[in-house]
Structure 1
Amino acid sequence: MSLDIPCDVQAPPLVARLVERHGARWVDAANVAAVTAEPGDLVLFFSGDPVRFPECLDVAVVLPELQAAFPGRFAVGVVVPTDEDAVARRYGMQRWPSLVFLRDGRYVTAIAGMLDWTDYVARVAEALDLPATRAPTIGIAVVSADAAPSCH
């Protein structure tokens, strides 16, 4: 996978810097399955449009500091802006900017928006200790063919 930003994508310099200087990887709709299938903890950064969500630039600056506060605990993937909506649907993510935590390819939790440093550190520590779970996406209820009718 190339770490170069695709030529047709315009990412804000502070977001692109995550890949260029801090070892993050670009994630798009084409490679998200492969990237997220790798073992370990991964944080996907959904920056959003910096005009609509100016705090995304703050999160882009804080994210390497969070990674340094938890050395070796998680890798970072930066979702390319043009594919954010498609990738966000996989994880039920509806707020920008957001950090989506995955472990061994499975959803763990998400942290949306910009937080105070102490709150971020506490929330990231909590996320790294949580078990993987089902992403909060729209699901289809499964009912057994032999289930008794019930209101509940």
Structure 2
Amino acid sequence: MNDFSAPTEDALAALLQRQESLHGLACIGQDELDAFAAVGGDVLVLLTEDPARSPETWDVAVILPEILKSFGRRLRGAALMPAPSRALAARYGITRYPAQLFLRDGEYVGVLEGMLNWDEWGGAVARKLEAPVSRAPSVGIPVRGPASDAGCH
């Protein structure tokens, strides 16, 4: 019989608190994101999902301090728990978790979604650090006018 059980949101909260105390990864709430990003510079924010639904969330939360360390002081890191992450998803066009949101001076740069191979991560993060700020995509919501339901005339 297998004694393995999937990590829970409580275990994820404990992991993120441990990453905060050991590695300085800020564990922030939805309302704190803008203030954290407005301090300036490049920011990587991990948006999480319940690890039972998205096991990659656990993996990225464990690896994130190593990613941040490999870029020295160029990149500050933070993480959000699943509920605030889901609340911010539409604002940044995020459709898959875990998501790594990149901001510069409070402005949107881009997102990496899901888990990457270690070999790919360094290049992907480096490209985000060189990318210009841009308008954040949003999750598309279909817009229908009165004529769209009218059919053919």
- Normalising by structure 1, we get a TM-score of 0.79
Equivalent residue, structure 2, for 1:24: 25
Equivalent residue, structure 1, for 2:47: 46
CA distance in 2, matches of 1:30, 1:11: 22
- For 1:68, the aligned partner's letter is K
Larger radius of gyration between Structure 1 and Structure 2: 2
Inter-CA distance 26–14: structure 2 relative to 1 (3 Å threshold)? closer
Shift of 1:36: 1.9
* Residues 122-131 or 77-86, more deviating: 77-86
What is the number of residues matched between the two proteins?
Answer: 132
Inter-CA distance 89–27: structure 2 relative to 1 (3 Å threshold)? farther
- For 2:87, the aligned partner's letter is A
CA distance in 1, matches of 2:139, 2:58: 29
Equivalent residue, structure 2, for 1:95: 96
| Local SS of the residue matching 1:78 | strand
Equivalent residue, structure 2, for 1:114: 115
Inter-CA distance 121–97: structure 2 relative to 1 (3 Å threshold)? same
- For 1:51, the aligned partner's letter is A
Equivalent residue, structure 2, for 1:10: 10
- Identical counterparts, % of pairs: 38
**Unmatched tracts of structure 1, length 5 or more:** 1-8, 140-152
Matched, 1:61 2:58: no
CA distance in 1, matches of 2:33, 2:125: 22
CA distance in 2, matches of 1:61, 1:138: 28
| Local SS of the residue matching 1:111 | strand
| Local SS of the residue matching 1:94 | coil
* Residues 60-69 or 30-39, more deviating: 30-39
Could you say which structure has the higher helix fraction? 2
Equivalent residue, structure 2, for 1:124: 125
Equivalent pair of 1:24/1:76 in contact (CA under 8 Å): yes
CA distance in 2, matches of 1:11, 1:83: 17
Equivalent residue, structure 1, for 2:80: 79
- For 1:114, the aligned partner's letter is M
- For 1:81, the aligned partner's letter is P
| Local SS of the residue matching 2:77 | strand
Shift of 1:97: 0.4
- Normalising by structure 2, we get a TM-score of 0.78
Structure 1 residue ranges, 4+ long, deviating more than 6 angstroms after superposition = none
